Amino acid sequence: MGKERAAVALAMACNCAANREGSDSERVVGRTTDLSNTGRSFTTQPCGSCKSCRKIESDNHPDIIRLKPSGPFIKIDQIRTLCQTLAMKPYEAGMRVVIISDAQAMNPAAGNALLKVLEEPPVRTILVLIAAHISNLLPTIVSRCQHIRFNPISKMNLESVLVRDHGIDAGDATVIATMAAGSMSRALGMYRTNWIKRRYWLINELDSLSAGSMNRLLAFGGQLAKNKDDLPDALEVLKTWLRDLVIAKLHPDRMINHDLASKLQQASQKMSLASLLSKFETIQSTQNAIQAGTNIRLAMESMVLKLSRV
């Protein structure tokens, strides 16, 4: 939904050279609790061309700290290292910014280790926690943060950007924009990794599971597990296809994979509603297991075997 990009833009705005060079009419004074301890003003729109902005945008600024999960979790050692870094003064930034991506991936120990810094952040330091849902964070962390909600980008806007800025075929752009569920980063990721072609492969494999041999089923599970970076999107594609098979029985006009409408109608007629819902729940429970740290290869093989039997 643009959360990562907004966090980077905030870091740029807090350290843009326009802070020093812009006129008063071009500035707004930071009045939030996070900024009031500095007395600094910041521009609402960073210039993007000064030295500071360029370093931040290219992820080369020493005082803009990006923290991401190590494997499935953000671990306590990562938070301890962060706290040690924050105990020192910023190298050059007027405002140091810490961006914690996938903050919901903090295990309880890591989350508790961050509490003191959240409650009493160092001077000239802002911490930005990015998460999919507040419910996935510890209540003690949620209570110490100011909440900013992001809404999905409209399908029309996603299509427009993909066609105008990236030269994607209008038909493919429609499919990608629909599958991206309002996320620009997901849409661009699907475009770069040729998800249209990969989607066909995933759907065909899913539809043929019941007729597959044991070796073929395990091979499919292994292929899913091999591409760990693409796995979350792959599972969402499978869920979207199953969702459309249900929708095809009830509201065909609301299908996401509308370019495969005829294939959906034919497949939907061969499967019961109970079977489709059971398959969907199998994938959902597998996603939950992976988030909890289950071995990915075993989880994929188990999921594929269950799907072939439903």
Q: Where are the domains of the chain?
A: 3-142, 193-309
Domain 3-142 has CATH 3.40.50.300: yes
DSSP-assigned letters across all residues of 41-53: EEESS--S-SHHH
Neighbours of 230 (CB within 10 A): 16
- Residue 32 is predicted with a pLDDT of 37
Structure confidence by residue, pLDDT tens digits, 277-309 = 999 999 999 998 888 778 899 999 899 898 888
* Burial class for 152, CB neighbours closer than 10 Å (0-12, 13-18, 19+): middle
- The residue-averaged pLDDT of 260-274 equals 85
pLDDT band at 23 (very low <50, low <70, confident <90, very high): very low
User: Which whole-number Å values give the CA distances from 212 to 45, 88, 195, 207, in the listed order?
Assistant: 56, 59, 24, 10
Across the range 128-148, mean pLDDT stands at: 88
Question: What is the pLDDT, as a whole number, of residue 33?
Answer: 35
Residue carrying structure tokens 């843009």: 16
State the pLDDT at residue 98: 93
| pLDDT score at 263 | 86
Residue 52 has pLDDT above 50, yes or no: yes
φ, ψ dihedrals at 60, nearest 5°: -120, 15
CATH topology of domain 193-309: Zinc Finger, Delta Prime; domain 3 (1.20.272)
Structure tokens at 259: 């370019």
pLDDT class for 214, splitting at 50, 70, 90?
confident
Query: Among residues 184, 202, 191, which one has the least CA distance to residue 239?
Result: 202
Measure the CA angle with vertex 192, ends 189 and 198; round to 5°.
85
Say if residues 108 and 75 touch (Cβ distance below 8 Å).
no
Give the confidence band of 247 by pLDDT, cuts at 50, 70, 90. Answer: confident
Q: What is the per-residue pLDDT across 165-210, written as a single tens digit (0 to 9) for each?
A: 888 888 788 888 887 878 887 888 787 777 778 888 888 888 888 7
pLDDT of residue 76: 92
| pLDDT tens for each residue of 217-233 | 888 888 888 877 788 88
**Dist. CA 78–CA 70, nearest whole Å:** 8
Cβ distance 14 to 95 under 8 Å?
yes
Q: Which two tokens stand for residue 87?
A: 């105990």
CB-based burial label for 287 (10 Å; 0-12, 13-18, 19+): middle
Give the mean pLDDT of 254-262. Answer: 81
Q: Residues 5-10: what's their mean pLDDT? A: 89
Q: Is the pTM of this model over 0.95?
A: no
Helix (H, G, I), strand (E, B) or coil at 29: strand
Contact 154, 184 (CB under 8 A): no
Q: Do domains 3-142 and 193-309 have the same CATH topology?
A: no
Residue 239 predicted with pLDDT over 50: yes
Average pLDDT of every residue of the chain: 83
In the predicted structure, residue 115 carries a pLDDT above the cut 70: yes
- pLDDT (mean) for 81-107: 89
Split at pLDDT 50, 70, 90, the class of 71 is confident
Per-residue pLDDT, averaged over 49-76, amounts to 88
